[in-house]
Amino acid sequence: MHEYNYALKIFKAAEKYALETENGRFLEIKIKLGKESGLSAENICLYFEQISKGGICEGVKLTFDIVEPLLRCVKCGKLFKRSPFSFACSDKNCSGEGEPTEIGKEFEIGPITIKS
Ligand SMILES: [Zn+2]
What pTM was computed for the model?
0.84
pLDDT in tens, 36-75: 999 999 999 999 999 999 999 999 999 999 999 999 999 9
Distance 98 CA to ligand 1 centre (A): 7
Query: What are the sequence ranges of the domains in the chain?
Result: 3-67+102-114
Residues 70/81, Cβ–Cβ less than 8 Å: yes
Assign 7 to helix, strand or coil: helix
- Please state which architecture CATH assigns to domain 3-67+102-114: 2-Layer Sandwich (3.30)
Distance 104 CA to ligand 1 centre (A): 19
pLDDT in tens, 64-88: 999 999 999 999 999 999 888 999 9
Distance 34 CA to ligand 1 centre (A): 23
3-state DSSP helix/strand/coil % of the chain, to nearest 5: 30, 30, 45
Distance 32 CA to ligand 1 centre (A): 27
Distance 78 CA to ligand 1 centre (A): 6
Residues 105/36, Cβ–Cβ less than 8 Å: yes
Rg (CA), the chain: 18
Residue (of 49, 54, 61) closest to 17 by Cα position: 61
